[in-house]
Structure 1
Amino acid sequence: MNHFYKESFLKEIDFSKAEINYLIDFAEHLKNLKQNNIPHQYLYGKSIALLFEKNSTRTRSAFTVAANDLGAYPVFLGKDDIQLKQKESIIDTAKVLGGMFDGIEFRGFKQSDVEQIADYSGVPVWNGLTDEWHPTQMLADFLTLKEKFGNLDGLKLAYLGDGRNNVSNSLLVTAAKLGVNIQVGAPKQLWPTDEVLKIALDEAKQNGSKVLITDDPIEAVKEADVLYTDVWISMGEDVDPTDRIKMLRPYQINRHLLNQTGKSETVVMHCLPAFHDHDTVIGKKLGEQFGMDALEITDEVFNGPQSIVFEEAENRLHSIKAIMAVTLGDLFIPEYLF
């Protein structure tokens, strides 16, 4: 019996601690199979729609390679390739794609859009990112931490930056579910919403984790095993860069802040892309405008010995593959695991 069969993967709230841990462990298993060149075509002959409103490197690459590894056929549908929202509604699009494809990935803006696609398509739908949640990133992140530390229970993770964005929301809820202590360092104007914070606190109470929200970056990183950050302005977000960068400058992950953890073994994570130098058009423009060599993370730390950023990026593939396999593949998963 497959506990996940025909289910969608839309946000972390929908899954229990046991279910998330199973997906992390299964991703680790699939990673081992790939590294040893052992075929695992659980989705042989299936067709997968990759529906993208937002551009992507890791999400698109991971879903494409994952589908191929699993024996499925991925078809990329970018915002300029189909009539999504221009001439055809989300619901109509969902019904059409659901009649042709066995599963649908959606990466876009509104959480309500991916929810509608799941409601009306009749096939498993996977959230590749919305403005509210980034659940596939979380499986990759906590798989990476489990590989690094051997266990998740009791780890202390500090997130610094925009505390209201999708990555912060997902880290709060997922960490709290998994028994990982989560500390968010952000200016008060960018603290998590009361709704997200309540979910995290309820999960923390059930799973023995602690939640701290502070505007003091030093307090946020104290005794942290992990420092995590994200870009300061999310894709499609309409804000004044001057105000945002001035607000978040004290939360930059640099050598000084990393030293404040008091732990030599602290690791550093970033979901990417990162403005750690001037080697991108946007990074160069903003860096020169504000007189900064880097924005949310310095190059010294990003490419330093404590960074596990690229291990984290690779694990997007294995975690996404696990989600696709368990929701669309006819696997036997013992019920006692849950």
Structure 2
Amino acid sequence: MIRHFIDLWDITPEEGWTILESSLAIKNKKNEERPLKGKYFALIFTKPSTRTRVSFEVGIRALGGEVIFLQEESLQLVRGEDLKDTARTLSRYLDCLIVRTDSHEKLKELASHSSIPVINALTDMSHPCQVLSDVFTLYERFGKDIKNKKIAYVGDGNNLCNTWLVGAGLFGLNLFVATPEGYEPSSYYYQAGEDLCKITGGSIYLTPNPVEAVKDADVVYTDVWVSMNQNRTEEKISALKNYQVNRQLLSYAKENVLVMHCLPARKGEEITEEVFEEYADFIFTQAENRVYAQMGLLKFLFTQR
């Protein structure tokens, strides 16, 4: 059976924990398997990328696979070839497609016509590899005690926020989300997270009040206020100005709070440079862990069938 990874709900809670444990073993060099040997992967990217591209290329090669990087603009798609024809062609050449695009619907269409696994490396609605890696970073620090930690997401209700809702449900986490009115996360992803919480015991709380979200938090997470391909408007920046992660806001969190950012950061907007630099080591460990979490995911997808 083909296993796509379009959203976090494409894996079960049990599978999620298995991937985290496998990722930790890989990072600790307790797993030298090369399950991707003889397999070929294509990274198809519409959007610019630093961490996603490099972490996938390094991880795939470390597991024995080969990688081809393709900018979407270099494919016949830009000349009007049907997406389903591209999917059916590439399925005959490759073993997996890893796609970073501006349209979640386009990614789902591609997957529906692919006879090989398709992995979401970011869309306008969802960023499952990032959140899987973020949960892995917290798992590495706290173990399964992450279920007892309060995680606060502060900022725009964007694709990353959507995915954190699902991640909280999948792993049974305690998540508080603070976004301004009019910039809330997707109700569809919220409901998916709530449905999973009923299974795992997690909890999700939405509020427009950033202080309420951050109060006694163990982890505070933020992301850029204006994502790629979004219009930067003064109205949006003004709505988010009270959602900046700064010393004043962090004063409401626990004394030993951890700050996370998926990068790239626009310092001076969603986070001050002072706070960013104070927590930089943990933020860049979070970035490093993209490699190991994605290796754990790839190992799972190609050995569990």
Q: TM-score by structure 2 length?
A: 0.95
For residues 124 and 201 of structure 1, the distance between their equivalents in structure 2, rounded to whole angstroms, comes to 27
Q: One-letter code of the match for 1:206? A: I
1:119 matched to which residue of 2?
112
CA distance in 1, matches of 2:189, 2:226: 20
Distance 2:231 2:35 in 1: 42
Pair 1:202-2:180 in alignment:
no
Structure 1: stretches of 5+ with no match in the other structure: 277-293, 333-338
CA-atom RMSD, angstroms?
1.7
- Per-residue deviation at 1:88? 1.5
- Whether contact under 8 Å (1:266, 1:306) holds in the other structure is no
| Cα distance in 1, alignment partners of residues 87 and 279 from structure 2 | 45
Q: CA deviation at 1:13?
A: 1.9
In 2, the alpha carbon distance for the partners of 1:138 and 1:305 equals 19
Answering whether residue 187 of structure 2 is matched by residue 167 of structure 1, we say no
Task: In structure 2, give the amino acid aligned to 1:253.
Answer: V
| Equivalent position SS for 1:308 | helix
Instruction: Return the alpha-carbon distance in structure 2 between the equivalents of residues 229 and 24 of structure 1.
Output: 22
Q: Which amino acid aligns with 1:199?
A: A
| Paired residue type of 1:28 | L
CA distance in 2, matches of 1:249, 1:182: 22
Instruction: Give the secondary structure class of the aligned counterpart of 1:123.
Output: coil
Contact 2:259/2:279, CA 8 A, preserved across alignment: no
Contact 1:159 1:182 in 2 (8 A): yes
Distance (whole Å) between structure 1 residues aligned to residue 88 and residue 304 of structure 2? 26
Equivalent residue number for residue 40 of structure 2: 47
The amino acid that maps onto 2:12 is: S
* 1:78 partnered with 2:71: yes
* The 10-residue stretch of structure 1 (77-86 or 102-111) with the greater mean CA deviation from structure 2: 77-86
Distance 2:200 2:32 in 1: 36
Matched, 1:157 2:131: no
Taking a change above 3 Å as real, the CA distance of residues 100 and 14 of structure 1, as seen in their structure-2 partners, is: same
CA contact (8 A) 1:40 1:69 kept: no
Matched, 1:269 2:265: no
CA displacement at 1:178 relative to structure 2: 1.2
What is the aligned partner in structure 2 of residue 281 from structure 1? none
Higher mean C-alpha displacement, 197-206 vs 94-103: 197-206
Residue 180 in structure 1 maps to residue 154 in structure 2? no
- The answer to whether 1:296 aligns with 2:270 is yes
Deviations along 1:81-117, whole A, 9 cap, x unmatched? Answer: 2122433122111111111011110010111222222
TM-score (normalised: structure 1): 0.86
**After TM superposition, which residue ranges in structure 1, 4 or more long, deviate above 3 angstroms?**
none
- Structure 2 CA distance for aligned equivalents of residues 249 and 139 of structure 1: 28
Deviation at 1:79, TM superposition (A): 2.3
Farther-moved stretch of structure 1 (80-89 vs 154-163): 80-89
Q: Deviations over 1:1-34 (max 9, x none)?
A: xxxx74111101222211111111111111122x
Tell me the equivalent position of 1:316: 290
In the TM superposition, residue 248 of structure 1 has moved relative to its aligned partner by: 0.5
Match of 1:230 in 2: 223
Show structure 2 runs of 5+ residues with no match: none
In the alignment, is the contact (CA less than 8 A) between 1:173 and 1:200 conserved in 2?
yes
Q: Are the aligned partners of 1:230 and 1:272 in contact in 2 as well (CA < 8 Å)?
A: yes
Deviation of 1:306 (Å): 7.6
More displaced 10-residue stretch of structure 1: 127-136 or 78-87: 78-87
Q: How many positions carry a matched residue from both structures? A: 304
> Which amino acid letter does the alignment assign opposite residue 258 of structure 1?
L
